[in-house]
């Protein structure tokens, strides 16, 4: 499954996984065959009550549009996953973090929405806006299918404007979180195991793409990287190494974190929990291969 699968609905075929971190000047391979879109997951009850329409002005087409936004103070964090994904008590707020212009297709996470240069905007006009087919988003909420498509559009924009590896990696990480949120909902509703397995495979692929971006960013960018300091990024990379069963890399990063005398008590606790998770996963893999 391609992380860009579904963008053909917006007239944006041709984006390929291998183009995500491709070197400039090299042509990307042709897109994979199209697949049928999955059925939309069930909606959360009263999700619309936690949202409002926030106005934005598109930096490309200069037209005003609205994007659904979670009301401040209405959603609270219930727990934090091993890779720092926040799990909320009501609405999955991660679904609403991409701002997408419905007129020209410009899309980015909130933190990057107004940070593109004129040159980057010109690249988006050529690669995205010139082919974009307007799509009306949900009037009351964004379904998980819509949220995933918005993230795909944001990743395609990041590729088009040659964004930093950290931004593309962060987008892939957030996109994986959206899929995990959908998977949680599907499991709670007793959905088809095949659909759940498909989601888990798609999530793992996106986590791998996120890791690729952060590995590049760590070598080429200054901190903070995607809003993270060095210790936090190292922890996230640890979690991503674990998600890909790259145990030696995970152990190496974890060891450096746990012996660091300057990390916060909260991050140290998370690193210790991650080490327990790593040990359990290594036992699972060893038992499966026995």
Q: Of the ranges 65-69, 134-138, 152-156, 253-257, which one carries the lowest mean pLDDT score?
A: 134-138
| Tokens at 161, concatenated | 């404007």
| 174 — pLDDT class (breaks 50, 70, 90) | very high
239-249 tens-digit pLDDT = 999 999 999 99
- Mean pLDDT value of segment 16-37: 61
pLDDT of residue 124: 96
Residue 188's alpha-carbon distances to 5, 125, 191, in angstroms, are 25, 41, 8
Residue partners of 99: CB distance under 8 A and separation at least 6: 56, 67, 107, 108, 109, 110, 113
Which residues sit opposite 86 in a β-bridge? 80
pTM for this structure?
Answer: 0.85
pLDDT at 43 over 60: no
Overall average pLDDT of the 251-268 stretch: 93
Q: What is the DSSP letter of 244?
A: T
Give the pLDDT confidence score for residue 29 in this predicted structure: 53
Q: Cβ(169)–Cβ(217) under 8 Å?
A: yes
State percent of the chain over pLDDT 90.
78
Q: What local confidence, expressed as pLDDT, does residue 244 receive?
A: 97
Domain borders along the chain are 7-32+48-228, 229-290
Q: Check: CB of residue 148 under 8 Å from CB of residue 108.
A: no
Regarding beta strands 77-80 and 86-88, do their DSSP bridges make them parallel or antiparallel, or are they unpaired? antiparallel
């Amino acid at each position: 499954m391609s992380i860009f699968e579904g963008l053909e609905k917006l007239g944006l075929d041709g984006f390929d996984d291998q183009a995500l971190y491709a070197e400039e000047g090299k042509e990307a391979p042709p897109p994979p065959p199209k697949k049928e879109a999955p059925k939309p997951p069930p909606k959360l009850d009263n999700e619309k009550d936690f949202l409002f329409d926030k106005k934005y002005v598109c930096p490309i087409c200069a037209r005003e549009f609205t994007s659904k936004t979670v009301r401040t103070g209405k959603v609270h964090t219930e727990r934090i996953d091993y890779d720092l994904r926040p799990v909320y008590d009501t609405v999955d707020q991660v679904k609403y973090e991409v701002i997408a212009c419905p007129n020209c297709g410009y899309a980015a996470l909130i933190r990057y929405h107004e940070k593109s240069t004129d040159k980057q905007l010109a690249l988006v006009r050529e690669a995205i806006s010139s082919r974009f087919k307007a799509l009306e988003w949900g009037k009351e909420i964004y379904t998980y299918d819509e949220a995933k498509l918005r993230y795909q559009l944001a990743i395609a924009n990041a590729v088009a404007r040659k964004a930093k590896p950290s931004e593309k990696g962060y987008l892939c990480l957030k996109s994986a979180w959206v899929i995990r949120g959908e998977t949680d909902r599907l499991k709670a509703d007793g959905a088809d195991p095949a659909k759940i397995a498909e989601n888990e495979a798609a999530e793992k692929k996106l986590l791998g793409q996120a890791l690729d971006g952060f590995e590049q960013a760590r070598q080429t960018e200054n901190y903070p990287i995607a809003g993270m300091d060095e210790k936090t990024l190292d922890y996230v990379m640890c979690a991503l190494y674990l998600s890909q069963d790259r145990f030696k890399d995970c152990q190496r990063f974890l060891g450096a974190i746990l012996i660091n005398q300057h990390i916060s008590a909260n991050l140290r606790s998370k690193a210790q929990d991650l080490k327990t998770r790593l040990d359990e996963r290594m036992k699972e893999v060893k038992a499966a291969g026995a």
